[in-house]
Structure formats: C-alpha cells, structure tokens
Amino acid sequence: MHELTEDVFTVAHVQIGADVIVTLYPSLGTDAVWFDFDTREMRSQAEVDALCEFIRTLGRLVDGPVELSYEGGSRVFAVYEPQGDEFRWTY
C-alpha cells in the first residue's frame, strides 16, 4: 500500500528549456509553491523566456504574485504580478 507520507516529500522536476529544469518542492504547512532553478543553466534568451513563461503560468494558476529570492535568503529581488502581467524588480 502506498504511504501518504511518501507524497509529502515528493520533488518534481519540470524541464522548461533545452537545458533548464525547474525543481518544485513541497511547502509543508503553507499554501506557497516553492521552486528552484539554476541561472547557470540558462544559455540563451529562449531559455530565459521559458523561465519567465513558467513564472507567468504559475502566477496565473495561483492567481497571485510570484516572488523570486535567492536560495537561502529572505530578500525578494523580483515579483511577477499576474493582474498586470508584469515583472517588477524590488531593489
């Protein structure tokens, strides 16, 4: 029998460009969607555009802002606002 606790820690990998993979993590106890990507994998404008489209899609699906921060940090450096379909740099 499949244990529900196994699903709690499931990590998903979504390929959004030729070499760019976004990793989705569980956000235990919150309604947040946590994801990670490595900018070193982005070698072309098409891959940057693919990441931006992923962020847009996520914002539209959750009907709320998508905040971007550096791994391990709490400072948000950019926000995607789906209501205005725009990215805003916060610093």
Angle at 51 between CA 23 and CA 84, to 5 degrees: 120
What strands, in cross-sheet order, belong to the sheet with 66-69?
A: 66-69, 76-81, 86-89
34 vs 87, which has greater pLDDT? 87
Has residue 6 got a pLDDT over 60? no
Please give the model's pTM, rounded to 2 decimal places. Answer: 0.76
The Cα 53–Cα 77 span in angstroms is: 18
The string of pLDDT tens digits covering residues 11-69 is 788 888 777 888 887 777 777 778 888 888 888 898 889 999 999 999 998 899 998 88
